[in-house]
Structure 1
Amino acid sequence: MSNDFRHLPRFTFVLGGAASGKSRFAETLAQDASAHRMYIATAQAFDDEMKTKIHRHQARRTQGWRTVEAPLDASTALAQAKSEDVVLFDCASLWLSNHMFADSDLETETFGLIHAVTTCNAPVILVSNEVGQGVVPDNALARAFRQAQGELNQKLAAASDLAVFVTAGLPQVLKGTLP
């Protein structure tokens, strides 16, 4: 494993569907880039299924990870990154749903997230779900989330140096070059 992340872009955007392997891919990128890794967790364990998923993600991470829980305040969490860190932000979809349920101003929060990611002291790998390739949801809340997630993903992709779409564990580069 290299401790030199000079080849990792400042902002890597990793996108994929549910259970696509996007988080595992992002973790591997971070592990290969630096021995100092910061994991920004946006999930909240409201039920047993989510608790199990969180534990599964935690078990995959080896030593060298520092976890900061930030279901809403991404800017403060990203500001905690040290220059020798590589930051893994997992994930924008849960961050967005947390803000939707908190009735936050999504435009303001999105601007703040993108500003924090692009001005972070360390390289950032940000994971998000692609939710626009399935059927049209049957309820207004799910349709609103799908729309907001699509808009957020477009803004994140535009701001990124590297954008990767992961399907069945296989990365497909959409923008930039893999390190």
Structure 2
Amino acid sequence: MAIILITGGARSGKSLRAESRARGFPGQPIYIATAEALDAEMSQRIMQHRARRANEWIEREAPLALVEALDATDGGGARLIDCLTLWLSNLMHANRDWSQEASRLAKALANQRSPVVLVTNEVGFGIVPDNALARAFRDAAGLTNQMIAKVADAVVFVVAGLPMRLK
């Protein structure tokens, strides 16, 4: 079993790197999507990701029930979760306790038999957000990334398409 966390900024090449890592494990890879197509721009992104993966992947959608999706797919090929920050956004929008859910995820990862590759965004490099909700999201993302990095076997930071191994 391997847990690999891949982080970086927007359009840094995280998803491509994660897809490559997940395909490197035996078995058919499973893509667990947390995004919902709520607007035209997100619909376009989802279509681009699907086109790139073609029929090579099994797809599952888990905008909120990420732990359940992981448990339901354990024992098969590597699972790719893309992405944790959209999942956090979904949790916050649904008024769910993101901290409790992130803790559940970290615990569930430790018990998986099949590899898991997780994509997340590094959102803490910019200026301090000007509103409370954006600051709460930035903090939630940073704390969640720390929780997952702690249980991960490897952590990779992607910048300009180039990976830097942190752990």
Quick one: distance in 2 between partners of 1:111 and 1:136?
Answer: 25
The residue type equivalent to 1:38 in the other structure is I
Residue 98 of structure 2 corresponds to residue 106 of structure 1: yes
Distance change >3 Å, CA 105–CA 82, structure 1 → 2? closer
Question: Does 1:154 pair with 2:129?
Answer: no
User: How many residue pairs align between the two structures?
Assistant: 167
Correspondence 1:96 to 2:96: no
Q: 1:42 matched to which residue of 2?
A: 34
Q: Is the 8 A contact 2:99 2:144 kept in 1?
A: no
Whether the 8 Å contact between 2:5 and 2:152 is mirrored in structure 1 is yes
TM-score (norm 1): 0.89
- Identical-residue share of aligned pairs (%): 48
Aligned to 1:64: 56
Instruction: Say if 2:141 is the partner of 1:133.
Output: no
Give the equivalent residue in structure 2 for 1:29: 21
RMSD: 1.2
Q: Which residue of 1 aligns with 2:5?
A: 13
1:3 is aligned to none
What's the TM-score, normalizing by structure 2?
0.96
Q: Could you list the runs of 5+ residues in structure 1 that have no partner in the other structure? A: 1-8
* Cα distance change on mapping 1:157 and 1:82 into 2, 3 Å: closer
- Structure 2 distance, partners of 1:105, 1:144, is 12
Displacement of 1:82: 4.1
Any conservation in 2 of the 1:16–1:129 contact (CA below 8 Å)?
Answer: yes
